Structure 1
Amino acid sequence: MDAENLHYFKKAPIAKAVAHFAVPMMLGTSMSVIYSILNAYFLGTLHNTAMLTALALTLPLFAAIMAIGNLVGIGSGAFISRLLGEKKYADVKNVSSFAFYSSLVLGLILMALGLPLIDSLVQGLGATPDSFGFTKDYVTIMLIGSPFVVLFFTLENIVRSEGAAITSMIGMILSVVVNIILDALVIFVFHWGVIGVASATVISNVVASIFYAFHMGYKSQFLTISIKWFKATKDILSNVFKIGVPVFIMSLFMGAMSLVFNHFLVEYGDQAIAAYGISSRLLQFPEFILMGLCEGVVPLIAFSFTANKLRMKQTIGFTIKAILALAVVFGIIVYLISDHLIGLFTNDPQLIVMGSYILHVTFLSLFITGMTTLFTGIFQATAQGTAAFIMSVIQGITLIPVLYIANRMSGFHGVVWSLVIADAVAFLVGAIMLYVLRNRLQPELDHLVQ
């Protein structure tokens, strides 16, 4: 961590400090959504609804791979930021080396377990007869590349945890640029379809992982990928996994929720699944902007938690105001041009109507989704493992029964509205826990949760 990063951790005005940590993360996450949207766009140009359906059905698999990366990355990253606040720099090397090698091993385990069960996995994702082959192609490539995809999510968090927000952003943008270029080549030049799109995703993650590894090995003052610093002590395992496991479970629940949601949509046809796939990718853009804001400030909150709790309070207050402003702006834009946004991906009138409807409904919970992400980030940064765990499961636990009841009562409309209800419950639970934990975190947080 150089003098400039240390300045932003300790002394810079709150607005500048939040901008330093959050803006690069927001840009990076928004770029990742852009290439997710472009994946759907490029496939959409082939006018094959089954391909778009396959892309939507594989979202749970990608969420599972991301979950493994976040298990190690977010848990290690939050621990590293706290260690930096305590000036325990040698321990930072141990944790960063542990994160690098353990994420690779976990990715290899996922690949070894997944490939022999590929047909069962594709069926479990809800593939229809028309989309089965395309879904299997995508899943196969993603499993083969999973060690590098896991490593990418881990290293992005590790690099950001030491305050190198710009470097973290560059890696994410590098991944996106490579992915977009390769998408265009595999679709329009080589005509590889779904296999090409999946391959482009994996290769782009390999490139970004190499970039991050180079930074950790040769540029960073404290991070390392050297095996000689690898340790798996009880202290490291405890601190990494008490935060990482809740994040892992939350990511798995996201994938499971997407899987369950797709199974409910299947009865309304491939068009319903494709419409949800398109609208969910569009919704990801503002969601990931807010996620970038909330996750971007986690290192600053974690550092301040061990070094300056008043600064932690000020950071949280400023972030809440930013979430509200961004949610209002994005909401207005979507309600004005939703039909045109869906129309970029398809010329099917029914798809446009269904996709626009889903966008209108799900955007209602944008602010509370942002706040829920912030609550989770606060619990991660301050090592509140139990609260982080509760946040990781509450939305999934709520969504499944709500989906069942809403589907029975209101059909397709009920399925869509169940997402908003689950988001609202998660927000209320997070707000209550933050209120209960306010004295443990800092008495000066009182006015934020009253």
Structure 2
Amino acid sequence: MDAENLHYFEKAPIAKAVAHFAVPMMLGTSMSVIYSILNAYFLGTLHNTAMLTALALTLPLFAAIMAIGNLIGIGSGAFISRLLGEKKYDDVKNVSSFAFYSSLALGLILMAFGLPLIDSVVHGLGATPDSFGFTKDYVTIMLIGSPFVVLFFTLENIVRSEGAAITSMVGMILSVVVNIMLDALVIFVFHWGVIGVASATVISNLVASVFYAFHMGYKSQFLTISIKWFKATKDILSNVFKIGVPVFIMSLFMGAMSLVFNHFLVEYGDQAIAAYGISSRLLQFPEFILMGLCEGVVPLVAFTFTANKLRMKQTIGFTIKAILALAVVFGIIVYLISDHLIGLFTNDPQLIVMGSYILHVTFLSLFITGMTTLFTGIFQATAQGTAAFIMSVIQGITLIPVLYIANRISGFHGVVWSLVIADAVAFLVGAIMLYVLRNRLQPELDNLVQ
């Protein structure tokens, strides 16, 4: 950790410290959403609804691959930030080496198990006869490239955990730029369709992973990819998986929720699935901006948790205000131009109407989803494994019965509104747990901070 990063961890004004850690992450995550949106845009230029449907159906698979990367990356990253606060620098090398090689191994395992079961996976994703071939093409490429995608999510978290927020952002933006360039090439020049889009995603993640590995191996003072530092001790496994497993489960639940949601939408036709696919990608932009803010401050919260709890509380308070301001701004924009946003991806009038409606409804919960992400980040940073686990499952547990009931009562409208209801329940549970955690960890701060 260089002197500049240490300054932001320990002494910089809260607003500047949060900006240092969060703004690069927000820019990086927003860029990643942009290329997700552009994937849909490039396929949309082919005017093939089945391709857009395939892209929407594969979201759960991508969530599962991301879940494996976050299992190691977020668990190791939060542990590394706490170790840096305690100045245990050799332990940081052990954890970073463990994260690098274990994430590669898990990606290879996923590929080995997934490829022989490819048809079952595609059926399980809910592919219709029209979209089955396109969905299978995308899934095949993603499984082949899964070691690199898993590694990308792991290393991005590891690099950010030592305070190298700019480097983390550069890696994400590099991935996006490569992906956009390859998308244009494979769609307009080689005419590879879905296979090309999937290949572009894998290659871009590989390029970014190499960039992160170079930083860890040659630029970072404390991180390493050297195998000689690899250790899988009980202490490392306990601290990594105590936070990583809840994150993994939460990511799987995101994929499962998307899968279940798609199955409910299937009865309303391919257009409903395509409309949800487009609107969910548009919603990802503000969601990932807020996610970047919340995840960006996790290293700062983790460091100050072991070094300065008063500064930790001030960081959390400032972040909440920022979430509210951003949610209001994005909400106003979407309600003004939602039809035009959906119209960028399709000229189908029914798709535009359905997609705009889904955007209007889901944007109602933007603030509470941002807060839920912050709650989860705080629990991860402070090593509250039980609370993190509860947050990882509460939304999924709530959504499934709500989906069933709402679908029976209100049909398509009920399915869409079920997302908002599940978000609200997760927010209330997280708020209660944070209040209990706050009183248990730092009761003395009530007398210090008004």
Range into which the TM-score falls when normalised by the shorter chain: over 0.9
1:313–1:444: 8 Å Cα contact kept in structure 2? Answer: no
Q: 1:123 to 1:444 in 2, by over 3 A?
A: farther
Alignment of 1:307-318 (within 5 A): 307-318=307-318
- 1:49-84 per-position Cα deviation (integer Å, ceiling 9, x unaligned): 000000000000000000000000000000000000
Structure 1 equivalent of residue 120 of structure 2: 120
Aligned-pair distance for 1:443?
A: 1.9
1:438–1:445: 8 Å Cα contact kept in structure 2? Answer: no
- 1:364-407 per-position Cα deviation (integer Å, ceiling 9, x unaligned): 00000000000000000000000000000000000000000000
- 1:321-367 per-position Cα deviation (integer Å, ceiling 9, x unaligned): 00000000000000000000000000000000000000000000000
* Root mean square deviation of aligned Cα: 1.3
Once the two structures are overlaid, the 10-residue window that deviates more, 228-237 or 439-448, is 439-448
Q: 1:349 to 1:372 in 2, by over 3 A?
A: same
Structure 1 equivalent of residue 75 of structure 2: 75
1:31–1:173: 8 Å Cα contact kept in structure 2? Answer: yes
- 1:110-162 per-position Cα deviation (integer Å, ceiling 9, x unaligned): 00000000000000000000000000000000000000000000000000000
Q: 1:287 to 1:446 in 2, by over 3 A?
A: farther
Aligned-pair distance for 1:449?
A: 13
Q: 1:405 to 1:444 in 2, by over 3 A?
A: farther
1:75–1:240: 8 Å Cα contact kept in structure 2? Answer: yes
Aligned-pair distance for 1:447?
A: 10
Aligned-pair distance for 1:13?
A: 0.4
| TM-score under structure 2 length normalisation | 0.99
Aligned-pair distance for 1:445?
A: 6.2
Q: 1:444 to 1:269 in 2, by over 3 A?
A: farther
Alignment of 1:279-294 (within 5 A): 279-294=279-294
Structure 2 equivalent of residue 46 of structure 1: 46
Q: 1:322 to 1:133 in 2, by over 3 A?
A: same
- Number of residues paired by the alignment? 450
Equivalent-residue separation in structure 1 for 2:140 and 2:289 (angstroms): 30
Q: 1:287 to 1:80 in 2, by over 3 A?
A: same
Q: 1:13 to 1:350 in 2, by over 3 A?
A: same
Q: 1:409 to 1:237 in 2, by over 3 A?
A: same
- 1:220-263 per-position Cα deviation (integer Å, ceiling 9, x unaligned): 00000000000000000000000000000000000000000000
Structure 1 equivalent of residue 105 of structure 2: 105
1:435–1:446: 8 Å Cα contact kept in structure 2? Answer: no
Equivalent-residue separation in structure 1 for 2:113 and 2:17 (angstroms): 43
Q: 1:17 to 1:101 in 2, by over 3 A?
A: same
Q: Secondary structure at the match of 1:345?
A: coil
1:431–1:449: 8 Å Cα contact kept in structure 2? Answer: no
- 1:195-243 per-position Cα deviation (integer Å, ceiling 9, x unaligned): 0000000000000000000000000000000000000000000000000
Aligned-pair distance for 1:446?
A: 5.6
Aligned-pair distance for 1:438?
A: 1.6
Equivalent-residue separation in structure 1 for 2:449 and 2:252 (angstroms): 29
Equivalent-residue separation in structure 2 for 1:445 and 1:18 (angstroms): 20
Equivalent-residue separation in structure 1 for 2:443 and 2:402 (angstroms): 36
Equivalent-residue separation in structure 1 for 2:412 and 2:436 (angstroms): 37
1:317–1:448: 8 Å Cα contact kept in structure 2? Answer: no
Equivalent-residue separation in structure 2 for 1:369 and 1:449 (angstroms): 26
- 1:146-201 per-position Cα deviation (integer Å, ceiling 9, x unaligned): 00000000000000000000000000000000000000000000000000000000
1:21–1:163: 8 Å Cα contact kept in structure 2? Answer: yes
Q: Secondary structure at the match of 2:249?
A: helix
Equivalent-residue separation in structure 2 for 1:429 and 1:436 (angstroms): 11
Q: 1:270 to 1:448 in 2, by over 3 A?
A: farther
1:310–1:444: 8 Å Cα contact kept in structure 2? Answer: no
Structure 2 equivalent of residue 155 of structure 1: 155
- 1:24-63 per-position Cα deviation (integer Å, ceiling 9, x unaligned): 0000000000000000000000000000000000000000
Q: Secondary structure at the match of 1:205?
A: helix
Aligned-pair distance for 1:448?
A: 13
Q: Secondary structure at the match of 2:216?
A: helix
Equivalent-residue separation in structure 2 for 1:384 and 1:305 (angstroms): 12
Equivalent-residue separation in structure 1 for 2:76 and 2:424 (angstroms): 29
Q: 1:425 to 1:400 in 2, by over 3 A?
A: same
- 1:261-282 per-position Cα deviation (integer Å, ceiling 9, x unaligned): 0000000000000000000000
Equivalent-residue separation in structure 1 for 2:449 and 2:390 (angstroms): 18
Runs of 4+ in 1 over 3 A off after TM superposition: 444-450
Q: Secondary structure at the match of 1:361?
A: helix
Q: Secondary structure at the match of 2:448?
A: helix
Structure 1 equivalent of residue 434 of structure 2: 434
Q: Secondary structure at the match of 2:9?
A: helix
Equivalent-residue separation in structure 2 for 1:170 and 1:49 (angstroms): 34
Equivalent-residue separation in structure 1 for 2:125 and 2:434 (angstroms): 36
Query: Structure 1 vs Structure 2: percent identity of aligned residues?
Result: 97
Q: 1:113 to 1:86 in 2, by over 3 A?
A: same
Structure 1 unmatched runs, 5+:
none
Aligned-pair distance for 1:436?
A: 1.4
Equivalent-residue separation in structure 1 for 2:365 and 2:184 (angstroms): 34
1:343–1:352: 8 Å Cα contact kept in structure 2? Answer: yes
Structure 2 unmatched runs, 5+:
none
Alignment of 1:49-448 (within 5 A): 49-443=49-443
Equivalent-residue separation in structure 1 for 2:447 and 2:53 (angstroms): 46
Equivalent-residue separation in structure 2 for 1:50 and 1:446 (angstroms): 56
1:186–1:192: 8 Å Cα contact kept in structure 2? Answer: yes
1:66–1:251: 8 Å Cα contact kept in structure 2? Answer: yes
Equivalent-residue separation in structure 2 for 1:41 and 1:106 (angstroms): 32
Aligned-pair distance for 1:440?
A: 2.7
Q: 1:401 to 1:118 in 2, by over 3 A?
A: same
1:391–1:426: 8 Å Cα contact kept in structure 2? Answer: yes
1:435–1:449: 8 Å Cα contact kept in structure 2? Answer: no
Equivalent-residue separation in structure 1 for 2:446 and 2:253 (angstroms): 31
Equivalent-residue separation in structure 2 for 1:149 and 1:326 (angstroms): 29
Aligned-pair distance for 1:442?
A: 1.4
Q: Secondary structure at the match of 1:449?
A: coil
Q: 1:356 to 1:445 in 2, by over 3 A?
A: farther
Q: 1:136 to 1:449 in 2, by over 3 A?
A: farther
Aligned-pair distance for 1:439?
A: 2.6
Q: 1:108 to 1:446 in 2, by over 3 A?
A: farther
Once the two structures are overlaid, the 10-residue window that deviates more, 440-449 or 242-251, is 440-449
| TM-score under structure 1 length normalisation | 0.99
Q: 1:447 to 1:392 in 2, by over 3 A?
A: farther
